[in-house]
Structure 1
């Protein structure tokens, strides 16, 4: 269904422009056939608009120019409008603006065949898809920056908590241990008192650490919060589907690690893959929690860097594994298997 939806726009644009060329060509049959073939070809090129936006923009511009020369009444560069949207959504302005400039130049060809008002209208309309694509790109960048800020703030908060919980307690324990060592032979009663103080301080510290870990474990981040995790990605234009299968009441360590693996995989999808769709599947398969994250982006890019290594380290701590790599039909997949028995 997803592939069908992705193919609708190229088919519609290609057939529509080909119909215009066949019905309005001012040249002979041979050039009309050439125009129809080019119309179908530059429409079909829109299939790769998300994965190769720069190349598709070039094909749309060349094809649009041929169409304009064969059938001047076509007026609108339909494929170019779609291509400039995809280009602006995937690339920064210093790349997309030249594409917009060339599209405006293509629209200016209408000055030779139609009225000035119509030509100016076509050129003005050409700016709209670029602006919409730029809005989508900015939203994605904002989500990525927000995620980075959230991670940094969480790390800073945990660091402060750890300092407050541990630093004072360890200092007291070290001092008490040194005191016990000094009086161990001469005043064993004082040594025992110091050891009891160390024991009490250690237990209190463990209680504080348990409280801290409870704050950063499943109550805040866990599989139960996946919908909240994907909400800002959906707002940024990435279609994310989440499916759950089986009993997902899993040990805390597995719950948190699975959440982090999904988070990192989707972050890579948003940041690197230039995907339009992603799917997250989490299932309990006979005592093994499986996490499967797929997207339709540029296969291979998501696995570069420290993200995949970090996921593998998380899984290895639990005795699990993470496999990541491009899919045969395009896109990227992260698949994790986390045993529940070892974690328990």
Structure 2
């Protein structure tokens, strides 16, 4: 971007936060363009009332026009001031000026767009009555069509301002509603996370409490009879081993089928080995078969993470690519990057598709658990997760897993 364009953007941003300066510049431009035309017209038509530049008339026109500087802050006062100035010029037998007429219309518009219905209706009525009386009282005979057309112009300017105010209020309400929905969605996500944790805690408590109680009883019995009945003691030890294996299997099943326990096909996968980063090539091949172009980069010296981090990183990539397939569009591309350091593993998944404001995973009757699941899975191993729109379009997921416990 050139320095000139950057300067223009900076100046525009400066004016946006200073509307009064903008209005002053508009009023000065109107006065600069309209006042010479006003004098030229009056000097060339041979009018006996005003043929030469008049200082008082010029000052009145300038005061009426520059009053637009305060049109957004005091619209009703500015409108009344302009009407008073126009009346003062009419009393001194000065003809209507182009800047004065334009300033009057802008003031009517400002009252309609910057004030509520009561004040804008009152200001519009005062302006309409003044304009109608001015037209009727002008020297010379004006046809009915001219009077109706000019009055319709004033009414149309007021209606335009009123419609713009209602439109702004409508969009402000939409933004406010979107903010409320965003807060409600965050609350729902927290509630889902708390409910999930509570359910896991109850299930783990039931599994651990039951099996540990059985193991404690069997261990106590084996200790008492080991000297006089070695066979029964060995049988008790076998029972302890079996119960311990069952407890571990149950706990793995609870964690492994988290949020997928309603899947009818999960029963056949529960006993299968958990996938890891070593299975990433197979996952990417499967994704490419759907039509999504995926590229993989691995940087740094690859290290073997802990089994939990290995599974968590694989599931994170799987979930992110699934959301890319759902939301990014058929022409999107995706990139998967793995960065290994001595202390941690960073996983990045990005796409250049349409993107979404919030990642949603449709899990039955509980949409939105995909995002919650990502945060929970990364936080479980002390990692950090960032999810959001990508610079230049698309969406990105970035997670850092510590390689040491």
TM-score (norm 1): 0.50
Look up the match of 1:199: 255
Q: Equivalents in 2 of 1:253, 1:10: separation in Å?
A: 54
Look up the match of 1:111: 136
Is the contact between residue 38 and residue 97 of structure 2 (CA under 8 Å) also seen in structure 1? Answer: no
Q: Equivalents in 2 of 1:25, 1:137: separation in Å?
A: 44
Are 1:49 and 2:77 an aligned pair?
Answer: no
Evaluate the alpha carbon distance shift between residue 17 and residue 88 of structure 1 in structure 2; reply closer, same or farther with a 3 A threshold: farther
Evaluate the alpha carbon distance shift between residue 82 and residue 198 of structure 1 in structure 2; reply closer, same or farther with a 3 A threshold: same
Look up the match of 2:91: 69
Quick one: which of 79, 104, 110 aligns to 1:86? 110
Q: C-alpha displacement at 1:51, in angstroms?
A: 4.3
Report the structure, 1 or 2, having the larger helix content. 1
Evaluate the alpha carbon distance shift between residue 69 and residue 22 of structure 1 in structure 2; reply closer, same or farther with a 3 A threshold: farther
Q: C-alpha displacement at 1:25, in angstroms?
A: 7.8
TM-score (norm 2): 0.44
Q: C-alpha displacement at 1:38, in angstroms?
A: 0.9
Quick one: which of 164, 177, 185 aligns to 2:204? 177
Q: How does 1:194-343 map to 2 (within 5 A)?
A: 194-201=250-257, 219-221=355-357, 253=386
Are 1:145 and 2:173 an aligned pair?
Answer: yes
Evaluate the alpha carbon distance shift between residue 78 and residue 203 of structure 1 in structure 2; reply closer, same or farther with a 3 A threshold: closer
Evaluate the alpha carbon distance shift between residue 105 and residue 17 of structure 1 in structure 2; reply closer, same or farther with a 3 A threshold: farther
Evaluate the alpha carbon distance shift between residue 75 and residue 28 of structure 1 in structure 2; reply closer, same or farther with a 3 A threshold: closer
Q: Which runs of 5+ in 1 are unaligned?
A: 223-250, 260-281, 283-341
Query: How many pairs are equivalent?
Result: 230
Q: Equivalents in 2 of 1:37, 1:18: separation in Å?
A: 13
Q: Equivalents in 1 of 2:75, 2:43: separation in Å?
A: 28
Q: Which runs of 5+ in 2 are unaligned?
A: 1-7, 13-21, 216-242, 262-311, 328-349, 359-383, 393-399, 401-405
Report Cα offsets for 1:97-146 as digits up to 9, x if no partner. Answer: 22112212321133233446354543332112111112222221222122
Q: Equivalents in 1 of 2:385, 2:129: separation in Å?
A: 59
Are 1:33 and 2:55 an aligned pair?
Answer: yes
Report Cα offsets for 1:65-103 as digits up to 9, x if no partner. Answer: 222323464288432111111222222222222211221
